[in-house]
Amino acid sequence: MDFSIFLQPAALISLAGLIALELVLAVDNLIFITIVTNRLPAAQQPSARRWGLTLAVVTRLMLLFSAAWIITLTAPWFTIFGEEISGRDLILLGGGLFLIWKATMEIHERVTPAAEDELDDHGKKPVKVMPRFWPIIGQIMILDVVFSLDSVITAIGLTRHLEIMVVAVLVSVAIMIIAAEPLARFVNRNPNVVMLALSFLVMIGMALVAEGLDISVPKAMIYAAMGFSVGVEALNMLSRRAQLSRPFRDIRKPDEG
């Protein structure tokens, strides 16, 4: 690879645009990794997040170096009811449905009353089974492929220089690694944010399914809706914090006489 290309202003502009694009697309991946790794024991969560992000960069680089094969995935493979289906469509459909299923199951678990206080047939509390480490990593790998494919195809459409794409991926994943732990701590301190993040995952999954069916859903509209929701939730958090920080008002004494 010829890295002297970065001395050209046009290459630097393409690099900045790709990094911004990668970060936008990486938000979805980072939210999913944070949600699923929070199900693990606390001691395993940082390691799982590192594994998830490492696999994300490996997957993206492997797909980048297979650019010629990636381009073939956009060609139609077969036709159903007059609709051409490509390999990319199948991956987006499968990944979108998996994301909707996973987020819906997480939401269901959080809105269902806890059964910790219920006793089994022997009069004992049931033992809570914690998710295992590698099945969680497997779930992250499935979504890594989907998000990486979308990211790489978009990058190939913007530039043909492999060097620019590789550097953009490495920089974006490095930023993800830096942001992963603060995001996880923020989610753990604010459990109400988890439901908002899960609803984002459902919306992203639906967008992936729509894209797999060649239904155009502007990403700007999706991220604008997510940004608006985050802004409303931020105002709610500030409101709750303000109410908690206000001094208690004096309780008036009942009138005498």
Arithmetic mean of pLDDT over the chain? 77
Tokens at 112, concatenated: 């269902």
The answer to whether the beta carbons of residues 175 and 36 sit under 8 Å apart is no
d(CA 236, CA 204): 24
Q: Calculate the alpha carbon distances from 230 to 14, 25, 34, 107, 196 in Å.
A: 29, 17, 17, 18, 8
Mean pLDDT of 84-106: 86
Helices and strands: H and E segment counts in the chain = 8, 2
Which of 113-117, 158-162, 164-168 ranks highest by mean pLDDT?
164-168
Q: What is the pTM of this model?
A: 0.72
Contacts of 199 (CB under 8 A, 6+ apart): 103, 107, 229
| 83-92, 111-120, 212-221: the lowest-pLDDT one | 111-120
Q: Residues 162-204: pLDDT tens digits?
A: 778 888 888 888 888 888 888 888 877 877 788 888 888 888 8
3-state SS class at 214: coil
Q: Residues 63-78: pLDDT tens digits?
A: 777 766 776 777 888 8
3-state SS class at 86: strand
DSSP 218: -
